[in-house]
Chain A
């Protein structure tokens, strides 16, 4: 490898700029750096405390401590929630009083939304969780929530004599083929089932009233 004069000049210039920058940082922000270090160590202590409490809970509740979300996702493919990471790029929220998002926000949205969907998937595939009495679960006719077409509601269902929402059809299935008790609209299981069914049709155009 040859080392040309031109390359040498570029490297020298680079070293010079780097030196000036590092000096500037040492002089200008030294105090703040120390403060950050102190915060970091507090955070570590806090994390260690939280970890030990969690470990204790896990020891005391071995049945509930399994990673049910990972297990359910391994069994049944669940569509991922929308990716909001683009909100973090650029000068977001500048000039607005509201809307400065952090990575934590984006992570929390995705995790919490997906958790409800995964819980829905668990109930969808479990006759007992549905309150069924004949061993029938939703996935037996609707693998991966196929043929549930949530995008077509509301629509008039002649057989019901009314305009049906997705939850009305879910309740119809729970009462008829599943032979269980109908769920209140804000029943935690109903909310989870709706979440799962909508999630599985991600990307499908809404088209209410379609038969």
Chain B
């Protein structure tokens, strides 16, 4: 073939390679010059807002009744940090989320961190995460994910963040944080080292591990904690595993979910906010409304079966866009304890699962359906 005749693909790949080669050759000064110019040009066109948080307008169809006023909480979840020398991408993602939350005006009443701060529960990973979260302007409420726990069974986590199970009251609402990733001992019998145990739990599709649970002692604690509250107190529960049974092979699952739900059943409105599933996920069982968090690290695919009827899936993530399907978000808590759950996707428009959507069993304020469903 003649030198000049090349396919579209070949030319594209050559140009692309040339471009990246040239980029690598840039020294620091010319890189900064180039990127500032590019940023300036883009900003001049008004394409990028000064931060990645998009302004959200919400319409409330129905006024909620209750004692306090409505207020806002922000959330960040599932950052799966390695040490920063190992993987900088996950570190930058968490920093982006912290910037998002710090840019909120007015500031949220507090920030939920949804667990799995570390990838392999190593002290340096947890310390790195704690260091980044320290930059948050609003108070932090954090919970345990399985990736934080199973190397040293929570020793480092507790040293950094204190007790994993706790509760508090805020503007007429009772908040509870649970450690909901308790697994039965599968490691002793197999003679696993702490790191082998950690890596087994860290594999979502690893079937050697046990299912998650809250466990009898914490359920007892929960029963006692809630005993002094009347049935019409709004309760918000903060948990890493979903507190219902979705898909066992991936541990999208809480083994004693029915027992935990039975404790929460008597309250008029209960909201469970959970991490672990890395996707838009909505469910309602009786008076308990469940909302999942987005991850900052990567999105999970939807489980092949068992998806709750109320779940409107997010459009499937674009593999060519490393942060697509990731993000953070907000929870607007109404005086009756029900919430508008805002999914702040980093590379898409934000989506809201409104209070009235779960309150009406999916009849009102239906979130937009995805234009590219899961395979």
Whether A146 lies near B304 (C-beta < 8 A) is yes
Whether A152 lies near B375 (C-beta < 8 A) is yes
Whether A177 lies near B300 (C-beta < 8 A) is no
Which residues of B are found within 8 Å of A177, using beta-carbon distances? Answer: 298, 322
CB < 8 Å neighbour of B301 from A75, A146, A152, A162? A146
CB < 8 Å neighbour of A139 from B82, B87, B200, B204? B204
Kindly identify, within residues 58 to 117 of chain A, every residue whose CB is under 8 Å from any CB belonging to chain B: 74-77
Whether A76 lies near B322 (C-beta < 8 A) is no
Whether B301 lies near A143 (C-beta < 8 A) is yes
Knowing A75-B207, A76-B205, A143-B250, the reply to whether A161 touches B82 (Cβ < 8 A) is no
Q: Taking the complex as formed, is A189 at the interface, i.e. its CB lies under 8 A from any CB of chain B?
A: no
Whether A141 lies near B205 (C-beta < 8 A) is no
Q: Max chain A CB contacts within 10 Å: which of B12, B301, B320, B375? A: B375
Q: How far in angstroms is the closest Cβ of chain A from B196?
A: 11
A residues with a Cβ closer than 8 A to B are 74-77, 125, 134-136, 139-144, 146-147, 149, 152, 159-162, 169, 172-173, 176-177, 211
Which residues of B are found within 8 Å of A176, using beta-carbon distances? Answer: 322
Complex CA–CA separation, A141 to B301 (angstroms): 7
15 other A-B residue contacts (CB within 8 Å) besides A75-B206, A162-B9: A75-B207, A76-B206, A77-B207, A125-B203, A134-B82, A135-B86, A139-B204, A140-B204, A141-B301, A143-B249, A147-B316, A147-B374, A149-B375, A177-B298, A211-B372
Count how many chain B residues have C-beta atoms less than 8 Å from C-beta atoms of the other chain: 31
Contact indicator per residue, chain B 320-360, by CB within 8 Å of chain A (1) or not (0): 10100000000000000000000000000000000000000
Kindly identify, within residues 230 to 259 of chain B, every residue whose CB is under 8 Å from any CB belonging to chain A: 249-250
Complex CA–CA separation, A146 to B305 (angstroms): 12
Complex CA–CA separation, A160 to B9 (angstroms): 8
Q: Taking the complex as formed, is B55 at the interface, i.e. its CB lies under 8 A from any CB of chain A?
A: no
Q: Taking the complex as formed, is B119 at the interface, i.e. its CB lies under 8 A from any CB of chain A?
A: yes
B residues with a Cβ closer than 8 A to A are 8-9, 12-13, 82, 86-89, 119, 200, 203-208, 249-250, 298-301, 304, 316, 319-320, 322, 372, 374-375
Knowing A136-B87, A169-B319, A177-B322, the reply to whether A144 touches B375 (Cβ < 8 A) is no
Whether B301 lies near A142 (C-beta < 8 A) is yes
CB < 8 Å neighbour of B208 from A74, A136, A173? A74
The A/B interface has a contact count, at CB < 8 Å, of 71
27 A-B contact pairs sorted by A residue (CB < 8 Å): A76-B203, A76-B206, A76-B207, A125-B203, A125-B205, A134-B86, A134-B89, A135-B82, A135-B87, A135-B119, A139-B203, A139-B205, A141-B298, A141-B299, A142-B301, A143-B205, A143-B250, A144-B205, A144-B249, A146-B304, A147-B301, A147-B316, A147-B374, A169-B319, A176-B322, A177-B322, A211-B372
Which residues of A are found within 8 Å of B204, using beta-carbon distances? Answer: 139-140, 143
CB < 8 Å neighbour of A161 from B12, B205, B250, B298? B12
Q: Which single residue of chain B is at the shortest CB-CB distance from A146?
A: B301
Q: Which single residue of chain B is at the shortest CB-CB distance from A77?
A: B207
Q: Max chain B CB contacts within 10 Å: which of A135, A176, A177, A211? A: A135
